[in-house]
Amino acid sequence: MGGAGDAAASVTFPTWAWAVFIGVVVTLLFLDLFVLHRGARKIPFRESLWLSAGWISIALAFGVFVFFLTGPEVAGEYLAAYLVEWSLSLDNVFVWAVIFSAFAVPEEYRYHVLFWGVVGALVFRAIFVMIGISLLSAFTWLVFVFGAFLIFTGFRMFRSSHDDDGKDYRDNRVLNFIERRFPLTEDYRGDHFVISENGKRYATPLLAVLVVIESSDLLFATDSVPAVLSITSNTFIAYSSIAFAILGLRALYFALEGLIDRFKYLHYGLAAILVFVGAKFILEGVDIHLPIYASLLPIAAILLGSIAASLYFT
């Protein structure tokens, strides 16, 4: 896998670069949980905007780190992969809003459950990236399968409605499995996932919400990870771009939760991005390699165009 269209394919990142990346991520998570948001509280709109800007700035700063380490081509792949993951993850934000509404989660507990949801997403994305790259390295013809899957998913998204209000997220197989084996309290007990009462352990509805969020995220990963791998086959670039996009989703949720109904046409843009990266995957399979700017610019234009159209027409 790789070639002229994948500048990072032959780049090997040193162990210290991985140590820097992991150290930055762990430090940010620690500061987020134990310093910035120690207690359960609602995140104000203004604070969420600053947090979102901060997470995006950190992601771009890491892109500068990649630039000085490897050069503009690989840094361009990082930026394009980040933009793909960030844009496709917007659907995650909308689904979170529906899940929180379905389970009537108090606003002050939402950031806490999303923190652990993001941690789980980072773990599962790492597994998906390693499996995806290993499969593509062993079976190069899978680029056609992945490409066709992305195109199919994109067209299916074109035909589907963005409104998920009719979906019952309480009817979740993983959640039903857990509820059959662990007693569940009827109400929330602060921001705790598990409590002990009368010598017996109980799961709270907040754990149920976390389970539903994690299981729904696995479905999103089946789209977003192949989309990122259509941009780069380098494990470091693929996973770091995904990680920094995911880290900023919680703040983005609180910035957009009051505006979600206005993003009426965004899912059409996300569908177009899936079709585009799927077609790029297939072209790579027949040795037609697009320069990185030919991927980055259309993706950015599609995303910005769909957001602008949504805000203008609503």
Residue 299 in any domain: the answer is yes
Residue 173 in any domain: the answer is no
Burial of 60 (C-beta count, 10 Å sphere; 0-12/13-18/19+): middle
Residue 194 in any domain: the answer is no
Query: For residue 11, what are the CA distances in angstroms to 2, 3, 19?
Result: 11, 11, 17
Helix 107-138 and helix 235-247, axial crossing angle in degrees, nearest 10? 170
Residue 281 in any domain: the answer is yes
Residue 302 in any domain: the answer is yes
Cα separation of 260 and 264, whole Å? 8
3-state DSSP assignment of residue 4: coil
Structural domains counted in the chain: 1
Q: Looking at 105-204, list the stretches that DSSP marks H as alpha helix, in order from N- to C-terminal side.
A: 107-138, 142-159, 173-181
φ/ψ of 231, rounded to 5, equals -90, -45
Residue 89 in any domain: the answer is yes
- Residue span of the structural domain in which 240 resides: 7-162+219-313
Residue 172 in any domain: the answer is no
pLDDT tens for the chain, 314 residues long, are 444 346 666 778 999 999 999 999 999 988 887 766 666 667 777 888 888 899 999 999 999 999 999 988 899 999 999 999 998 888 888 888 888 888 888 888 888 888 898 999 999 999 999 999 999 889 888 889 999 999 998 898 888 755 444 455 666 666 677 767 777 777 888 778 888 877 788 888 888 888 888 888 888 888 889 999 989 889 999 999 999 999 988 888 888 776 777 788 888 888 999 999 999 889 888 878 788 888 888 888 998 998 888 888 87
Cα–Cα nearest to 217, from 106, 79, 119? 119
Cα separation of 44 and 59, whole Å? 23
Residue 91 in any domain: the answer is yes
